[in-house]
Amino acid sequence: MKSNALWLRAQIIRAIRDFFWERGFLEVETPLLIPANAPEEHINPFITLPCWQLQTSPEICMKRLLCTGHQRIFQISHCWRSDERGSRHLSEFTMLEWYRAGCDYLDLMADCEGLLQHVASVCLPGNPVYRRKSREIDPFQSWRRISVQEAFLRFGQVDVWDCLQKGLYEEILTAQVEPGLAEFSEPVILMDYPSKLAALARLKPDQNILAERFELYMGGLELANGFSELNNPVEQRRRFEEANRLRLEKCIAPLPMPEPFLRELSDMPPSAGIALGVDRLVMLAAGADTIDQVVAFTPEEL
């Protein structure tokens, strides 16, 4: 019954807040309606008024707060992505993001472990495990870390660079790698993405074909995406322009540049930030098959 899922949802959001408050994070609220999101090849914002869009993620504004000296911030807010609807997607969804100055993606992995253990013990007392398709995922087991290349070789028997070149990356990832990750009964960190799959992440200093980016999977469900932040404005502008060039190639409208963000980016200390889908966390806690089961209303019901 849906009211159970809504209770669980409320408890999870409260547990998330407690977790970050106890660790000295500042809870922030940034505007949902903004002039420009980070231009990405495959993310389409809702354009509302001329020159204004709904946020696809609070990242631009939150990183600007890091530029002004905030050290640890978190936010739970709604995000909108046009044309995304499926059993795991809603065009309007709830996102948790947190950012830490002076840290990198390895610190975020540790945060994820602490957060998911905290949420499970508070919201799922008695049996603190997550569930996906009748499989239990125990956040208290030691977490598995696997690089993107290792995962493609192991579950797809293919080289990820080869897949990228042939345009098969998404197909192999969803048809072979994710089902492979679903077999583990512990959370999995898929890490070190090819640099072209990281629009805003810092490259690995010793291996610049890889970016310091990871995704957290539980039961094969993608739950969070985190990375060490790129803070070089020249490189960041180049990547945004590349995203717009790829959009134009496919006849999709290019997106405006977030100019104030690019202007201030050089003031951002080395930092790391991560986005976690709250609806999906509720799905995992409730053992729900679809995102429809954990929201008060789907767009079709409105």
Partner 1 sequence: MYTVADLKKGLKITLDGDPYLVVAFDFVKPGKGQALYRTKMRNMINGTLLDRTYRSGETFESANLEERQMEYLYKEGSHYTFMDQQTYEQVVMEEETMGDAKYFLLENCKVDVMLFGEKAIGIALPNFVNLRVTETEQWAKGDTSGNDSKPATVETGYVLRVPPFIEEGELIVIDTRNGEYSTRVKG
CB of 178 to partner 1, least distance (A): 7
CB of 85 to partner 1, least distance (A): 6
Tell me: does residue 37 bind partner 1 (CB under 8 A). no
Query: Residue 204 and residue 220: Cα distance in Å, rounded?
Result: 26
Closer Cβ to partner 1, 26 or 153, answer by number? 153
With CA atoms as reference, report the closest residue to 230 among 220, 219, 239: 239
Tell me: does residue 279 bind partner 1 (CB under 8 A). no
Tell me: does residue 225 bind partner 1 (CB under 8 A). yes
Tell me: does residue 16 bind partner 1 (CB under 8 A). no
Applying CB under 8 A, the span of 34-42, 107-115, 180-188, 264-272 interacting with partner 1 comes to 34-42
Q: What does the DSSP 8-state code read for residue 206?
A: T
Query: Residue 174 and residue 152: Cα distance in Å, rounded?
Result: 11
Tell me: does residue 199 bind partner 1 (CB under 8 A). yes
Tell me: does residue 289 bind partner 1 (CB under 8 A). no
With CA atoms as reference, report the closest residue to 186 among 118, 127, 135, 119: 135
Residue 267 φ then ψ, to 5°:
-85, -5
Other CB atoms within 10 Å distance of the CB of residue 197: 14
Provide the H-helix boundaries in 173-302.
Answer: 178-181, 233-249, 259-264, 278-286
CB of 11 to partner 1, least distance (A): 27
Tell me: does residue 87 bind partner 1 (CB under 8 A). yes
Tell me: does residue 173 bind partner 1 (CB under 8 A). yes
With CA atoms as reference, report the closest residue to 119 among 222, 226, 17: 17
Number of residues that bind partner 1 (CB under 8 A): 23
* 121, 165, 174, 207: which one binds partner 1 (CB under 8 A): 174
Task: Give the footprint of partner 1 on this chain (CB under 8 A).
Answer: 40-43, 83-89, 169-171, 173-174, 178, 197, 199, 215, 222, 225, 250
